[in-house]
Structure 1
Amino acid sequence: MPPFRWRAIALPALLPALLFAIGEGAIIPIIPIFAHNLGASLAVAGLVGGILMIGELFGDIPSGWLVSRIGERPAMIGAALLSVVGLVICLLSPNAWALSFGVFLIGLATAVFALARHAFMTSFVPASHRARALSTLGGVFRCGYFVGPFITAGVIHLFGSVETAFWIHIVACLASVAVLTLGREPSAAFVAVKTVRAEDGRRLHEGEALVADEARGLFRTIWASRSVLLKLGSGVTLLSGLRASRAVILPLWAVSIGVSEADTALIIGVAGGVDFALFYASGQIMDRFGRMWSALPCILGLAAGHFVLAATHELPTNVEWFIGAAMLLSLANGIGSGILMTLGADLADKRNPAPFLGAWRFTTSIGGAAAPLAISGITAVATLSLAAGAMGVLGLVGAGMLLRYIPRFVPRAR
């Protein structure tokens, strides 16, 4: 077999992922702000921002089947084009409810794109380099979340319009489609791809077969693994919820204390840089000291960041506290980079890991979808400060569950 060359996957896999991530990073801080500008209350704006994660949750269900049916690259191309449709709907939205439909489509597309690119890397990268390739892919996505808000801040400053953030994602998606369409097939460049035979007789790439196995019997696997999913899985689901809360509550907080759209994107972009800088350190911590030393500081830091927000909304220096809380939340999130995938890999059956990994990803995604709904509901009946405090309390509950169950289910190696 020819030697593996990193540039062989740079154009067909890493560059499209980076472009897509930059576009998504450009719109995430803006969605709640745009909803508020369309007349939505803070509670409804938070709900619209959270629909992105709800779309991803629903997209997780058919993604494996779709990727195994049409292939990795066609699935990524289709997902990018579906994102463009959702983004156009967002631009034409007369109200927050129409906007929420466009955001839902973007979430669906994001789930398909994410799973397809994972399958792509599994198929085209040899096992000897796969862990480094997937880690690099995760870093590329975080890099996009870091770069995207800076582009948004600059474009809003130039044109004075929040809607321009959606155009950034449209351009990024179309550029991603161009790279995927015009790029060379990786198998022709450097490696003979391993294939397996599906139950219906079709020949599938290794990655396509993996995601198909994850999707098959999803709810049956969840029931069979209910013990670990109810115990350790619940703690990790709360961790996932606090991560999703961060993406919604920071833009809402900026609106509530009067920070401009451009400054909001800039602050979130700088915070994303802190997150991006720590993705490699997190892996070192997990491998050298154990999973607990990444998971526990992550969820406690996220809880602390929410408590800081809850306690400082009415202070004269609330903008400075907002910036500090954003940095703390990103620091905590960076320390926990990769913890969800790592714990899932630790717990999965080594002989046939795919079904459990699909159930694990779906279960933890529930937290990401539920957290924005909780923020929206609490804000509607009380205040945004109380919603932040409630998320902090849930973080402490999740920390207790992780402290109890990680040593039980994932013992530290001698």
Structure 2
Amino acid sequence: MHVTDRPNAGRASAVLWRFGPMIYGPTVLFALGEGAIIPLLPVVAERLGADIALAALVASALVVGQLIGNLPAGWAVARLGERYTLAIAGALAIVGTMGMVFAVNVAMLASSVFVIGFCTAAFGLARHAFMTTRVPLAFRARALSLLGGTFRLGTFVGPFISAGLIALFGNITASIWFFTACLVATVLLVLIASDPEERLKADERARRITDAATSGATVDTGEPITGGVRTVERRGVFRTMWEYRAVLSRLGVAAASLSAVRSARQAVLPIWGVSLGLDAQTIAIVVGISGAIDFTLFYASGQVMDRFGRLWAALPSMILMGLGFLALAFTHDLPSSAMWFAMFAAVLGVGNGLSSGILLTLGADVAPRDNPAPFLGSWRTLSDAGGAAAPLLVAGLAAVSTLAIATGAMGVIGLAGALAFTRWVPRFVPRARPDSG
């Protein structure tokens, strides 16, 4: 029996504090390092000879790598386990950071960023599947919002660390070396700390023995038994996509639009700063302030979803980010363009913060309870496809028109996504579920 099957499995704070270091610790380290380099990707690309459109393409390699990494990550978690998957992903990410340090051209830089994005998928998928089956429904959104908050911590603190390192050493590569140190610490923590899955299995065995002793039932000793045993059929990702095509083609597409707007925020803000002629340290500070606002709202988003429903987090977020992109598109050539850039970066931070954990929570809500991993692989692949397409769309529109038009287009996608959430969230995710306890 999973934790989600037991309505009285414990208070939210008790469960989250118990598994916090094992569940959230490695993700925080990874996110801090990644957050330190994200604002600098266009700057590094520009120094290697890339124009604005090509710099956007380099930034998009991060989400493209994450998109492609979802399916291999699902396979690795199922066969190698969470611990070894995360350790291997951390080691591969170190290879990616070394490629960034020694990149001699844009192609080598883009390939290294792609590898880092590929490894990011392993961290996201492993934690998502674990918490889908192990966290009680009554505070699922808060737990998953906290998981989303760990990545927001990276986008909040990381750019400030990056700005400080650049000021201290006068070199952008200092931020990349910081990411490398975070990855080394991540791998060590994953390998040394106790495995949360094994700990939960041990706790569950102890609970069954206690319950059996109390009720006088026979205790499972682990000896072989005869007779039929019910097993759960394991489905592949592509078969799962077909079986759940209704929810994936509707609510999943809405989720992809949110992922697209989020990804566009990460890509547009640094490039917008570069197009205004701002230096790397200033861009990092502006993006860091946006991330700070984003980060402060992550747990509030979970509270809203648990108490009022998922739509109350998704809809305001999409409307705010859609309008924020549209308004930013008209400010590029204004006399105070740098001030407008900082202001709308803050607006986008508020919108993104209001949606913290919504994609994780919606995926957990509609996933099959017996074997959620293949569905979550499909769900994350679809949502990440939106995130991967957005920077490519920004790069393409910026190349054939202007960056302002590309930014406005992302605003339109945000408002369209708000309509999609309004239509499909009530259908697939009822506010009250029978097993909510």
**Normalised-by-shorter TM-score class:** 0.7 to 0.9
| Closer, same or farther: CA 348–321 of 1 in aligned 2, 3 Å | same
Superposition deviation, residue 46 in structure 1? 0.4
Q: CA RMSD in A?
A: 2.8
The answer for the alignment partner of 1:231 in structure 2 is 250
Q: Report the secondary structure of 2:104's partner residue.
A: coil
The answer for the alignment partner of 1:199 in structure 2 is none
Could you tell me how far apart the structure 2 residues matched to 1:293 and 1:190 are?
33
Could you tell me how far apart the structure 1 residues matched to 2:84 and 2:154 are?
22
Whether the aligned pair in 1 keeps the contact of 2:144 and 2:357 (CA below 8 Å) is no
The answer for the alignment partner of 1:264 in structure 2 is 283
Q: 2:108 aligns with which of 98, 102, 114?
A: 98
Whether the aligned pair in 1 keeps the contact of 2:147 and 2:357 (CA below 8 Å) is no
Whether the aligned pair in 2 keeps the contact of 1:76 and 1:117 (CA below 8 Å) is no
* 1:115-134 alignment runs, 5 A limit: 115-118=125-128, 131=140, 134=144
Deviations 1:289-340 (A, max 9, x none): 3222211111111111211221000001011100011111110011111111
Query: Would you say 1:336 and 2:338 are equivalent positions?
Result: no
Could you tell me how far apart the structure 2 residues matched to 1:134 and 1:93 are?
36
**Identical counterparts, % of pairs:** 47
Superposition deviation, residue 58 in structure 1? 0.6
Moved more, 267-276 or 112-121: 112-121
2:178 maps to amino acid:
I
Superposition deviation, residue 168 in structure 1? 1.2
| Closer, same or farther: CA 310–154 of 1 in aligned 2, 3 Å | same
The answer for the alignment partner of 1:66 in structure 2 is 76
Q: 2:424 aligns with which of 381, 400, 405?
A: 405
The answer for the alignment partner of 2:67 in structure 1 is 57
The answer for the alignment partner of 1:168 in structure 2 is 178
Superposition deviation, residue 188 in structure 1? 8.0
Compare CA radii of gyration and give the structure with the larger one. 2
Whether the aligned pair in 1 keeps the contact of 2:270 and 2:283 (CA below 8 Å) is yes
1:390 maps to amino acid:
A
Whether the aligned pair in 1 keeps the contact of 2:138 and 2:306 (CA below 8 Å) is no
| Closer, same or farther: CA 119–218 of 1 in aligned 2, 3 Å | closer
Whether the aligned pair in 1 keeps the contact of 2:144 and 2:302 (CA below 8 Å) is no
Whether the aligned pair in 2 keeps the contact of 1:11 and 1:179 (CA below 8 Å) is no
Deviations 1:6-43 (A, max 9, x none): 66644443322211110011111111221112110111
| Closer, same or farther: CA 224–164 of 1 in aligned 2, 3 Å | same
Could you tell me how far apart the structure 1 residues matched to 2:310 and 2:198 are?
39
Query: Normalising by the residue count of structure 2, what TM-score does the alignment of the two structures yield?
Result: 0.83
| Closer, same or farther: CA 92–362 of 1 in aligned 2, 3 Å | same
2:31 maps to amino acid:
A
Could you tell me how far apart the structure 2 residues matched to 1:133 and 1:282 are?
11
Q: 2:86 aligns with which of 56, 76, 82?
A: 76
Whether the aligned pair in 1 keeps the contact of 2:237 and 2:377 (CA below 8 Å) is yes
The answer for the alignment partner of 1:201 in structure 2 is none
Q: Report the secondary structure of 2:171's partner residue.
A: coil
Could you tell me how far apart the structure 2 residues matched to 1:97 and 1:227 are?
39
* 1:136-147 alignment runs, 5 A limit: 136-147=146-157
Alignment gaps of 5+ in structure 2: 1-9, 206-230
Query: Would you say 1:295 and 2:305 are equivalent positions?
Result: no
Q: 1:379 aligns with which of 385, 389, 398?
A: 398
Query: How many aligned positions are there?
Result: 397
Whether the aligned pair in 2 keeps the contact of 1:271 and 1:326 (CA below 8 Å) is yes
Q: 1:159 aligns with which of 150, 169, 191?
A: 169
The answer for the alignment partner of 1:200 in structure 2 is none
| Closer, same or farther: CA 185–396 of 1 in aligned 2, 3 Å | closer
Could you tell me how far apart the structure 2 residues matched to 1:225 and 1:181 are?
35
Q: 1:48 aligns with which of 58, 61, 65?
A: 58
Q: Report the secondary structure of 1:311's partner residue.
A: coil
1:321 maps to amino acid:
W
Alignment gaps of 5+ in structure 1: 196-208
The answer for the alignment partner of 2:304 in structure 1 is 285
| Closer, same or farther: CA 135–306 of 1 in aligned 2, 3 Å | closer
The answer for the alignment partner of 1:206 in structure 2 is none
Query: Would you say 1:177 and 2:187 are equivalent positions?
Result: yes
The answer for the alignment partner of 2:339 in structure 1 is 320
| Closer, same or farther: CA 349–80 of 1 in aligned 2, 3 Å | closer
Moved more, 132-141 or 280-289: 132-141
Whether the aligned pair in 2 keeps the contact of 1:8 and 1:186 (CA below 8 Å) is no
Query: Normalising by the residue count of structure 1, what TM-score does the alignment of the two structures yield?
Result: 0.87
Whether the aligned pair in 2 keeps the contact of 1:73 and 1:116 (CA below 8 Å) is no
2:317 maps to amino acid:
C
2:250 maps to amino acid:
K
